[in-house]
Each structure stands twice: as C-alpha cells, then as structure tokens.
Amino acid sequence: MIDTNLIKANSKDISERLKLRNYSFDEDLFANLEAQRKKYQTETEDLQAKRNTLSKEYGLLKKEGKDDTALSKNIESIKIDLDTCSNKLNEIQSSLKEFLLDVPNLPDDSVPSGVDEGSNKKIREHGEPAILKGKDHLEITSMIDTESANLLAGSRFAVLRGEIAKLQRALIAFMLDKAAEHGYTEYYLPMIANTESLTATGQLPKFSDDLFQLTDDYFLIPTAEVPLTNLYRDQILNLNQLPQKLTAHTSCFRSEAGSYGKDTKGLIRQHQFEKVELVQICHPDKSFEALENLTSDAETILKELNLPYQVVELCSGDLGFSAAKTYDLEVWIPSQETFREISSCSNCTEFQSRRAKIRFKEDGVSKYVHTLNGSALAAGRALIAVIENNYDQKGAINIPQALQDYTKCSSIKV
C-alpha cells in the first residue's frame, strides 16, 4: 500500500510513476475519496466529542436529581446525526481502502522503464550454456512421471520416483544449508494462509484467481514469502532486531489460471512445486543494499551447482505487484535453448509492511520496515536444470560436487 500522504503531496508524480508499470492511477477518484474521508471523519469525531461531553453532563444532572429532558433530547438528536455520519464514514473508508489495496507498488527510480519483459535488462551472466540442444528432462528419465500424476490429481502435477525424488530432496537440503550459512534462520511453516496474510503480502484481493482456495478463509500458499513475511505482521520491532533474515522450504501452490497451453510439458509450470524462500525484514535505508545481498545469496547456489545462469533486472512494466525493484535469476535450460526464471528477488520497500503493519522504532518514532524476498531456489526448476545440464548423453546424470554430500553418490543412472 502506498503512503496516502505521499499521494496527496505529489499526486501527479505518483500517477506518472505508476504509469511506468502500466497502472493508470485515478487521481480524481482518490482526491475525491480522500476529501470525503476527511470531511466525514472530522464531522464524526466532532459529534462524538459532543456526545461525550453531554453524556457526562447528563450523568451529573442525574446524580443531583435535576431535570434532564432538554439535555436528553439534545443527545438524542446528536446520536441520530452521528449514526448517519459514521455510516457514511465507514462506507467511504472501505471504498478508499479497496481503492488503495488495488494500487501496485511504485517502481524504484533505478528501474529501467518499459512496458513488458522486452525491456528487461541483462545485468550479468555466469557459466557456459551448452552449445548443443539437449534432451529434455522427461526424455532423459522416466522417474519423472506425469502420467501417474495426471491419474492422481490432474495436469500440471508430477510424481517423482526413486533417485530423482531423492535428488530434489538433496537440492532442498543443500539450499537450506546455504541459507543458514548466509545467516538466515530456518522456519517450518503452515502451507495454508488466511485472507489477512495474503492481503498483507499483496496476493489478495487482486489476484485471488491465481490461488487455490480451500474454504472461506483458507488458501494454499503460492510462496513461503507469505507466511515468512507475515510472521512479523502487526509488530513493532526494536532497531537492534533489524535486519531479520528468514528462510523456509515449503510446497507452493498456484492455480496457473490464464496460463493454459503455456509450458504444458514437464516440470516447468506446476500447480505444486517445492521452493526455498529467503525473506529479509530490514531498515529502510538498507533495503537496496539488502536486495543485492539477497540476490547474491540466491546466485551462490546456482554457482555452486555449476549451472549457467544470467541475472536480469526487470523493467517497470514487468514488475510484480508488490515489488519496487526485482532481479530475476534465469537458469539455462538446454532442451529449450533458453534461460528460464528460477528465482525472483524483490525489494518491496514499505509496500508490504504498510499492509502488514510491520514497524520498528527509531528515536522514539515508529516507522515502516522494508521487506524483501527471493527464491533460493525453486527446487522443481533447479531439478530440471541439474538433470538437463548434467546429462552425459549416455544414460547417467552427473551430480554436481556440491550436492554429493547430500545424494551420497556422484551420478544417477536413468
């Protein structure tokens, strides 16, 4: 949520910046709602103040046994006005909130402008992508079983068997250990979140179609960013508690509505996948520095797995709803002869902390923290990358050195 004072002060500027990310901000509607909010709030509070004083007087009169009919009438009429006024106020406040919850975060000034991914900017590259087009992961091994998954649940699910299931588990354990090395505290979390949590991090109310909803107030999480960030919801931290660095492995669930026909083959786009997430809660002055660190924490894993990848800075039009600045890490997928997103590291500035009311106290003043998140990494996609980039073309997958402590073997027969 954007600071309303900021909008009031520079409505034009805000509107321009939001245009960069293809959001058209209705300045007039906002100004109108905000003006009305102010009017009705002041009026309501005045009436409440009046009622409070008169009620006190009434009490005194009663005590002294004096006549109270005139006062009683006066109070009654104030109550009627107050009722109308506060109803109106509630109505406007919820419209205003609805309006504001729909507005995406402001792109940071450093973000390249552009309408779509075509304007994303490659920052750096690491490793040597394979020259020849390779087999895809489904062709390489039958231990990824989409047919069974289809039988059990439907499309966009996978059953992993034997060594491949173990390989994914090894990847997750490796990633968690790396996160711990980088100072992140490991969490085990509910994989169901409620409406409030999902609203705080920005998935709701706008993107409910992307979520699996279980019941009225239960949703499967689309990422561990949701529970991890919400751990601090409604809290005021001490300055010395910052930064907080958290990590968790969870399953992630996405409806993938609107992606029919996209990446239908293999593990690339699933309804359920495993991911290790990094989250940082930090001082506003440190968040852009923290984004560089968090991104490099995620990169370390790709480096140690010897996977070729590139780092891309998203342009304004390609930013996610809550992000002010994002780096995508894209890993080389030989069968597709292209780089595919395997991590997305974002600085959400105070967008989520305003929604979640996560603050810290500095010099006696409470301020909003900045929140950051990034995958380190998406395990399903990492699995594909490891399989395809290490297939020896003869029936074995060579396990990267860094993983061998976990797999207890140096290659897998497929």
Residues in touch with RNA (CB under 7 A): 4-5, 38, 41-42, 44-46, 48-49, 51-56, 58-59, 62, 72, 75-76, 79, 236, 359, 361, 366
Count of other CB atoms within 10 angstroms of residue 82: 19
CB of 10 to RNA, least distance (A): 16
Nearer to RNA, 41 or 272 (CB): 41
Return d(Cα 228, Cα 248) in angstroms, integer.
8
Exposure of 403 by Cβ count < 10 A (0-12 exposed, 13-18 middle, 19+ buried)? buried
CB of 38 to RNA, least distance (A): 5
Q: Which residues contact 309 (CB under 8 A, 6 or more apart)?
A: 125, 126, 127, 299, 302, 329, 330, 331, 332, 339, 342
Nearer to RNA, 125 or 196 (CB): 196
Nearer to RNA, 46 or 304 (CB): 46
Cα 214 to chain centroid distance, Å, stands at 20
Contact 408, 137 (CB under 8 A): no
CB of 48 to RNA, least distance (A): 4
Contact 391, 135 (CB under 8 A): yes
Nearer to RNA, 60 or 115 (CB): 60
Nearer to RNA, 183 or 190 (CB): 190
CB of 190 to RNA, least distance (A): 12
Nearer to RNA, 44 or 250 (CB): 44
Contact 212, 220 (CB under 8 A): yes
CB of 88 to RNA, least distance (A): 15
How many residues in total does the chain contain?
Answer: 414
Edge-to-edge strands, sheet with 358-362: 235-238, 358-362, 365-368
CB of 46 to RNA, least distance (A): 6
Nearer to RNA, 94 or 264 (CB): 94
CB of 108 to RNA, least distance (A): 23
Nearer to RNA, 59 or 162 (CB): 59
Which of 329, 334, 337, 311 lies closest to 389 in space, CA to CA? Answer: 334
Contact 321, 105 (CB under 8 A): yes
Dihedral sign computed on CA atoms, order 245, 325, 258, 196: positive
Residue 375 β-bridge partners: 277
CB of 30 to RNA, least distance (A): 13
% helix, strand, coil for the chain, step of 5: 45, 25, 30
**Apex 368 CA angle, 366 and 372, nearest 5:** 150
